[in-house]
Structure 1
Amino acid sequence: MRILVVGSTGGTGPHILRDAVARGHEVTALDRRPEALDGIKGMVRVASADARDVEAMAEAIAGQDAVIVSVSGGDDKRHQVVATRVVEAMHLAGVRRLVFTSAYGIVATRPLLTAGLTRRRNRDLFADQLAADEVVAASDLDWTIARATRLTEDDSSKPARVETELLARGPWSLGRTAWATALVDFVEQGSHIRETVNVTGG
């Protein structure tokens, strides 16, 4: 498959690139800082563009089978803007399959104390992320919104656990490698189309 990864230099992006390449997919990394991909350039095609530039993104998306968006926090309303631009660009390019990453913290109810504190501490970020999710869900694309628990660099965890309901039990963290594998699985298997899923460690 031909897969475009938006946000390829963030904490999770390189893991997604490596996982998809290891499976034999033709991978394109879209990032406004292509120099940050020096260690991966030999494995993937690199497209230099800002994720908020619709025309540049549409050009990179054209001919792809799927798009994975993994954008970390940053500017105010960054996630919402990126979601809006990606949806527009995918329509222009005629590509339908989108896997969009999000944060489980925006809907978490357990563990009770931690969930409440996390929402208060990240009020603005979570509001932006929720707005982005709503943009994606309102589109007519073949989307999957994947919400991760706290991401870690622990690669020793079991495969990710994916649920369509709120998580009733922990663990409440997820290794980035397992997270990336789950995201590529959604694309490869064509699973959870037009569904929001919650993902944590196995």
Structure 2
Amino acid sequence: MKIAIIGATGFVGPKVVNEALSRGHEVTAFARQPEKLDIENEMLTKQSVDVTDTDILANLMVGHDVVISTFNAGWTNPNLYNDFLNGARSIQEATKKAGIKRYIFVGGAGSLEIEPGVQLVDTPNFPAEYKPGATSARDYLTELKNEQELDWTFLSPAINLHPGNRTGVYRLGTDTPVFNEAGKNDISVDDLAVALLDEVEQNRFVKKRFTLGY
């Protein structure tokens, strides 16, 4: 497949690029400064773009089979909430304008329910510094659920998304965290990329949200 990966220089993006390339897919890595992506491969094209330039982004994505967004507006961005929503909406609209049906968005864990009717982002101990980003991702998921034209999927990472080895082993869930026997919900960013590319190839959660953990 030919895969467009948005936000290719962030925390998640490079791992997704590597995983896609390792499976033989052709990849276009989109970022403001794609030269920061320290990956070289004959199947990889690096493309500079501002994701809020919807028409330009759409034109650049024409011909791809799948769009994967790992877009993040920056955790220290004082306008994170609005910038995240504006960027996500632009990527979604550009995907449609480019004539691409498959759209996978990596959001946050904040919208996962830790008990019926209570989302993680709304709990008293949720870190204040992460709340704007988590709330914007939660609100974007609510919007995305109304999308009829795209075959979308929203991936909520584990609560603890961390650097680590690629094991290729994970467990899946939908709207609640996948806790282990010790009550922890974590995943390495490498294994998140494995699950993401598995979804690209297997299409198990079309028009749904899913999550994961060890």
Which residue matches 1:66? 66
Equivalents in 1 of 2:175, 2:39: separation in Å?
A: 38
* Cα RMSD (Å): 2.2
Equivalents in 2 of 1:68, 1:168: separation in Å?
A: 23
Question: Do structure 1's residue 197 and structure 2's residue 205 form an aligned pair?
Answer: no
Give unmatched runs, 5+ long, in structure 2: none
- AA of the residue aligned to 1:85: S
- AA of the residue aligned to 2:94: A
In 2 relative to 1, CA 119–198 (structure 1 residues): closer, same or farther, beyond 3 Å?
Answer: farther
Question: Do structure 1's residue 188 and structure 2's residue 201 form an aligned pair?
Answer: yes
User: For the Cα contact (< 8 Å) 1:87–1:139, is it kept in 2?
Assistant: no
Question: Do structure 1's residue 22 and structure 2's residue 46 form an aligned pair?
Answer: no
Equivalents in 2 of 1:100, 1:186: separation in Å?
A: 11
State the 4+ residue runs in structure 1 displaced beyond 3 angstroms.
38-43
- AA of the residue aligned to 1:84: R
Question: Among the aligned pairs, what percent are the same residue?
Answer: 27
- The offset of 1:119, in angstroms, is 5.5
- AA of the residue aligned to 2:71: V
Bigger helix share? 1
Equivalents in 2 of 1:95, 1:124: separation in Å?
A: 30
The residue matched to 1:184 in structure 2 has which SS? helix
User: Which TM-score applies when normalising by structure 2?
Assistant: 0.84
- AA of the residue aligned to 1:167: P
The residue matched to 1:27 in structure 2 has which SS? strand
In 2 relative to 1, CA 143–23 (structure 1 residues): closer, same or farther, beyond 3 Å?
Answer: same
Which residue matches 1:117? 125
Which residue matches 1:126? 134
- Within-5 A mapping of 1:106-185: 106-109=111-114, 116-118=124-126, 120-140=128-148, 141-149=150-158, 150-155=160-165, 159-167=169-177, 169-170=179-180, 171-185=184-198
User: Which TM-score applies when normalising by structure 1?
Assistant: 0.89
- The offset of 1:44, in angstroms, is 0.8
User: For the Cα contact (< 8 Å) 1:80–1:135, is it kept in 2?
Assistant: no
Which residue matches 1:92? 97
- AA of the residue aligned to 1:19: E
